[in-house]
Amino acid sequence: MSHDQGIVPLPRDKSLGQYIEFDLSKLHNSKGGFLIDEDVSVEGKLKTLEDIKRERERERERAKALQEPGISLDPDKQTQCRECGTKEIDDVTRKVFGMLVCKMCMREKPEKYSLLTKTEVKEDYLLTDSELRDGELLPHLLKANPHKATYSNMMLFLRCQVEDFAFGPQKWGSEEGLDAEFRRREDEKTRKRGKRFAQKLADLRRRTRDNVWQKRQDEIHVHDYQSVLQAGREHVQRCGDCGHEIEVEEF
């Protein structure tokens, strides 16, 4: 084989099974226990060692943010349930709602730690959509809708946090304040229903007065006959409105 034709690579031996070929001349030792391929590229540009180091650092930061907090040997720094003091904190409640409570206490005290849907919070505590969308004001847990997969995710709120906000100075001030707002809204609904009923009744009366059949009935003349007191006309009666006369027979 001539030098002009170049070196022809050996055919792949299928008996060796699946394997990956590397060009060892392009690999560098990262001094971290692995080899780096210079041919790895992003958006058409070759990655440098600094680019790869930055990526590794970002991956470590993401992993650090997701990992569980370490257990401190100092009893004063160890996380514990706010109700019973156990160290077995419910991880979802801690991460989503920032609440240190165990699963046992959540089950035993649903009046404080049960999860409420968005609809329940709006109807029972009269909170608005904008307040419920504010994650800093009221943290919420997103969960797949159990009724249909294509429906929007459910927003679940922790009852004690909802009540702290609803009964606080930012909203209704107390349970009595919420009850007063309920009564005010019910009175307003009653007033509006009464107003709508009166309007419908007025419309019905107007339509009745304007009814063509009613107009025809009003145009029909009803005679008001009275006996004619004239000599020789004892058996005649005349309408006092239109003058129409009829003869009557007395028995």
- Domain containing residue 153: CATH number: 3.90.530.10
Task: Average the pLDDT over each of 40-44, 146-150, 194-198, 236-240 and give the range with the smallest value.
Answer: 40-44
According to the per-residue pLDDT averaged within each range, which of 56-60, 135-139, 232-236, 241-245 is highest? 135-139
pLDDT of 51 reads 73
- Domain membership flag for residue 130: yes
Query: What average pLDDT does the segment 88-94 reach?
Result: 91
- Domain membership flag for residue 141: yes
Whole-model pTM: value is 0.51
- Domain membership flag for residue 72: no
CA distance 45 to 58: 20
pLDDT of 251 reads 55
- Domain membership flag for residue 142: yes
pLDDT of 52 reads 72
The whole domain housing 165 covers 114-178
pLDDT of 218 reads 64
- Domain membership flag for residue 174: yes
- Domain membership flag for residue 131: yes
pLDDT of 33 reads 56
Count of Cβ atoms closer than 10 Å to residue 164 Cβ:
13
Quote the number of domains for the chain: 1
Task: Average the pLDDT over each of 31-45, 83-97, 164-178, 229-243 and give the range with the smallest value.
Answer: 31-45
pLDDT tens digits along 171-203: 999 999 999 999 999 999 988 888 888 888 878
- Domain membership flag for residue 203: no
Which of 91 and 233 is assigned the larger pLDDT?
Answer: 91
* pLDDT of 111 higher than 90: yes
User: How confident is residue 1, by pLDDT bands cut at 50, 70 and 90?
Assistant: very low
- Domain membership flag for residue 78: no
- The percent of residues above 70 in pLDDT, for the chain, comes to 65
CA distance 240 to 223: 8
Q: List 154's β-bridge partners, or say none.
A: 143
pLDDT of 69 reads 52
pLDDT of 227 reads 78
pLDDT of 164 reads 94
